[in-house]
Structure 1
Amino acid sequence: MSILLIEAFYGGSHKQLVDLLKEEMEECVLCALPAKKWPWKARTAAISFMQMVPHNANYRVLFASSVLNLAELVALRPDLGKLKKVLYFHENQLVYPVQKCQERDFQYGYNQILSWFMPKHKLAHLEKIIGVKRTGDAYQREGLPTQQQSGAPGSLTKTSSVRLEPGLCEGQPGLPATQPERPPSPLATPEASSKAGASERTNPCQEGDKQHLTFNPCNILSGADYQQRPLHVVWPHRWEHDKDPETFFKVLLQLKEKELPFHVSVLGESFSEIPDIFSEAKKALGSSVLHWGYLPSRDDYFRALCMADVVISTAKHEFFGVAMVEAVYCGCYPLCPKALVYPEIFPAEYLYSTPEQLFKRLQNFCKRPDIVRKHLYKGATAGFSWAALRGKFRALLAAEAREDLRQMGLSHKLAA
């Protein structure tokens, strides 16, 4: 048990990654908290893990996602301070889009700063961007009290069989079968923090009022030749504001107004707070909708991607974009913003700069769907597979740090 995997938000791409590492790496132990109440986890996970993680002299490497305030955990558990630490960033909370016109909750970004070593020139640039100033060993932002400072790709699509009970450190003898999640600090209530930051996340399979339908490709192909059926657009993203569903549906409704033929499948997880645009768009799109909602079965999800022609992203914040790469693997033609991480992954012909450009591309595809159905993707995707990345992860999680690995910038490239 030389590798300690810590995940404060055990769900979605967070779960996908640590499950894969647990399955593929020898001598791993995984400690995790349930994928709900994200703001509460970001504030208090370190105190929960302080109590959950058993003392073990065999730990050599600590791997955690940036939901955890790593600096706080090390302060609470000095025995973990000696380990080599790898911090995986699924997102950057300093620039994560806010949902409402309100002052950003600085605590989430501040946690990431505390957990992440930065060279002096990058630190100075960061201070300038986010509007903080340093006085000695303290940071101060206008209107906020001074706070003391304490002392880095892949579409990992391999299916994992690892299962972990919520709030449990797996692989440690003597632990109870379940470990209750402890909210140990009154710094913020879950309700208040969910309004100030990211929305509260819950397991969509447990929500009785949401539509989780089984996808049946026969409903698409019956009575229509493949080449003759309308263009099929898929949007396989979380139903949250940072994915900008408003822009996506605005473009589709423009196509609808022009009476252009198309079908749409809106996949991805929905959480406790669903943007109003989803119910409004479903009604307005009417018969153009082929599928609407979360697909619990991974096979059904990939089958749905295989039946689609075009996959679209309208995201405002993206470190990698697993869903887009998975859709390309399934044969979809990608259309992505010419921003964020996308230009690093997709060739220029798959990028658009404005919603108007996206509309024009889709308008042409609606008129000639055979264009995308005959198209062969021109980018390279093999490098994002687990087969290509396995060796890099093994080297990264080796007990001894190496300078060349520190320069690889894996934390930026690894998926979100």
Structure 2
Amino acid sequence: MGAPRVLLVEAFYGGSHKQLMDLLQENLSSCCLCSLPAKKWHWRARTAALSLSQSIPTSGSYRVLFCSSVLNLCELVALRPDLARLKKVLYFHENQLVYPVRKDQQRDFQYGYNQVLSCLVADAVVFNSSFNMESFLSSISSFMKKIPDHRPKDLEQLIRPKCEVLFYPVHFPDVSRLLPEHKRLGAAERNSEQEAGKPLHIVWPHRWEHDKDPELFLSTMIKLSERQVDFQLSVLGETFTDVPEVFSSARLLLSRHIVSWGFLPRKQDYLKALCDADVVVSTARHEFFGVAMLEAVHCGCYPLCPKALVYPEIFPAEYLYSTPEQLLKRLQSLCRRPDATRRHAVKVDTSSFSWSTLKDRYQTLLSLDAPL
């Protein structure tokens, strides 16, 4: 294959970060991947550059360096001057300037500061959505006001010309064999009586962490149950060290509705669960792209998302809600007409976010005619 010309560096090799790096390595020629496991995110953000500076092989063939914004790129290229000459591409899955914390006093200034520094030394800065880009750039000035004196100036003007939006490339697998009959058949062929008799199946496929607001989702489900609304429920997604307490209490209260509860490590099982569901809900207080929602739509689910964050950029207005009361009302209405919900053709073109659509732009971004 020849010596690698694209150096892929991932300080947090897990989840969507891992999927992107794997996709690039598998589909683009002449790549070399150097990574650290997806553990203890905060320590990766603080110290990964030093560790990676010692493990990245030295090579005169590298032309492009592609990394995510977990890495302090400024530190890496200072520690490894041989990498400073490469075309340096920084990819933002999220940004620390607006990442939610319980209280602003708890926000560690260093994480956002590292991302600003990385932008200043990068040649190209790429965001997975316009929301991610604009929320980052527009927050730099106020973020830097936390510095007591000698504040840097004009950082947004220095960084913005390097920036572009390039959607995260989702690999949408063929799920035709996993789809239930009513999702495979056209409206005229469906057995509407059978559909009407089966309760609506609601899925929540997100990380079990506070920024996805499971409290709002599960309290909404409990209210539906208390109103004697008939539905089925699957609560999926990865769990980490600190699982919000609401999950254990809600599981008891919602036990008669539950079809699936907990993380499904096999991708095939996860896709089957999405295919079996009718409605997918997000209650996120933080979302810069949202792979899980798009995967669920690809599997034939009707989406309900907050009218905030990245969602208006991807989903038409009819799938957005503004308040918890609206979410409850929308779900109650969908549950009472499961047949109509299942007949609805979702107006989201998932192909816009697929690797096959975005591949050429990624190839251009990582083109080998980079400056030396």
1:401 is displaced (CA, Å) by 5.7
Distance 1:358 1:93 in 2: 28
- Name 2:57's counterpart in structure 1: 54
Matched, 1:393 2:362: yes
Unaligned 5+ runs, structure 2: 126-133, 154-163, 181-192
Matched, 1:103 2:109: no
Q: Cα gap change, 1:130/1:353 in structure 2, threshold over 3 Å: closer, same or farther?
A: farther
1:379 is displaced (CA, Å) by 2.3
Greater share of helix residues, 1 or 2?
2
- Name 1:154's counterpart in structure 2: 168
Matched, 1:283 2:252: yes
Counterpart of 2:331 (choices 362, 366, 386) is 362
Residues 202-228 of structure 1, C-alpha deviations (whole Å, 9 max, x = no match) = xxxxxxxxxxxxx9x9xxxxxx94441
Is the partner of 1:328 in helix, strand or coil?
Answer: helix
1:301-320 maps to which residues of 2 (within 5 A)? Answer: 301-320=270-289
Distance 2:54 2:152 in 1: 29
1:264-303 maps to which residues of 2 (within 5 A)? Answer: 264-303=233-272
- Name 2:224's counterpart in structure 1: 255
Question: For residue 376 of structure 1, what is the amino acid of its counterpart?
Answer: A
Q: Would you say the 8 A contact 2:195–2:338 is kept in 1?
A: no
Question: For residue 259 of structure 2, what is the amino acid of its counterpart?
Answer: L
Q: Would you say the 8 A contact 1:155–1:322 is kept in 2?
A: no
Matched, 1:83 2:52: no
Distance 2:269 2:278 in 1: 16
Residues 376-405 of structure 1, C-alpha deviations (whole Å, 9 max, x = no match) = 011222111111011111011003469xxx
Q: Would you say the 8 A contact 1:309–1:333 is kept in 2?
A: yes
Distance 2:143 2:104 in 1: 19
Distance 1:319 1:74 in 2: 27
Is the partner of 1:62 in helix, strand or coil?
Answer: strand
1:291 is displaced (CA, Å) by 0.5
Q: Would you say the 8 A contact 1:239–1:271 is kept in 2?
A: yes
Q: Would you say the 8 A contact 1:312–1:334 is kept in 2?
A: yes
Is the partner of 1:9 in helix, strand or coil?
Answer: strand
Counting aligned pairs with the same residue, the percent is: 59
- Name 1:381's counterpart in structure 2: 350
Q: Cα gap change, 1:66/1:371 in structure 2, threshold over 3 Å: closer, same or farther?
A: same
Matched, 1:132 2:141: no
Is the partner of 1:63 in helix, strand or coil?
Answer: strand
Distance 1:312 1:129 in 2: 32
Is the partner of 2:106 in helix, strand or coil?
Answer: coil
- Name 1:323's counterpart in structure 2: 292
Q: Cα gap change, 1:94/1:123 in structure 2, threshold over 3 Å: closer, same or farther?
A: closer
Distance 1:112 1:278 in 2: 33
Q: Cα gap change, 1:134/1:365 in structure 2, threshold over 3 Å: closer, same or farther?
A: same
- Name the stretch that deviates more: 337-346 or 127-136: 127-136
Question: For residue 265 of structure 1, what is the amino acid of its counterpart?
Answer: S
1:340-355 maps to which residues of 2 (within 5 A)? Answer: 340-355=309-324
- Name 2:341's counterpart in structure 1: 372
Question: For residue 62 of structure 1, what is the amino acid of its counterpart?
Answer: L
Residues 344-383 of structure 1, C-alpha deviations (whole Å, 9 max, x = no match) = 1000000000111010000111111112100001122211
Distance 2:234 2:106 in 1: 35
Q: Cα gap change, 1:326/1:276 in structure 2, threshold over 3 Å: closer, same or farther?
A: same
* Structural RMSD (CA): 2.4
Distance 2:202 2:324 in 1: 16
1:168-317 maps to which residues of 2 (within 5 A)? Answer: 225-317=194-286
Q: Would you say the 8 A contact 1:20–1:158 is kept in 2?
A: no
Q: Cα gap change, 1:136/1:79 in structure 2, threshold over 3 Å: closer, same or farther?
A: farther
Q: Cα gap change, 1:108/1:386 in structure 2, threshold over 3 Å: closer, same or farther?
A: same
Normalised by the length of structure 1, the TM-score is: 0.74
Q: How many residues in Structure 1 have an aligned counterpart in Structure 2?
A: 327
Normalised by the length of structure 2, the TM-score is: 0.83
Q: Would you say the 8 A contact 2:98–2:139 is kept in 1?
A: no
